Amino acid sequence: MKVIEIKGSEERDLWRLRQNELRLHKLDRKNYYPFNIDKWEEKSKEIVYKYNILIQESNKIRKEVEEVYKLIEAKFKDEQKRKRAEQTRAKQELAEQTRAEQTRNRAELMEEYTNNPRRSYRISKMLKEKENIAVEALLSLSKK
pTM above 0.85, yes or no: no
Q: Is 125 within the bounds of a domain?
A: yes
Taken as a whole, the chain contains a residue count of 144
Number of domains the chain contains = 1
Q: Is 130 within the bounds of a domain?
A: yes
Q: Is 2 within the bounds of a domain?
A: no
Q: Is 39 within the bounds of a domain?
A: yes
Residue 31 buriedness (CB in 10 A; 0-12 / 13-18 / 19+): exposed
Each residue's pLDDT, cut to its tens digit, for the chain (144 residues) gives 678 888 888 999 999 999 999 999 999 888 888 888 999 999 999 999 999 999 999 999 999 999 999 999 999 999 999 999 999 999 999 999 999 999 999 988 888 777 776 667 787 788 888 888 888 888 888 876
Q: Is 1 within the bounds of a domain?
A: no
Structural domain including 45 reads 9-143
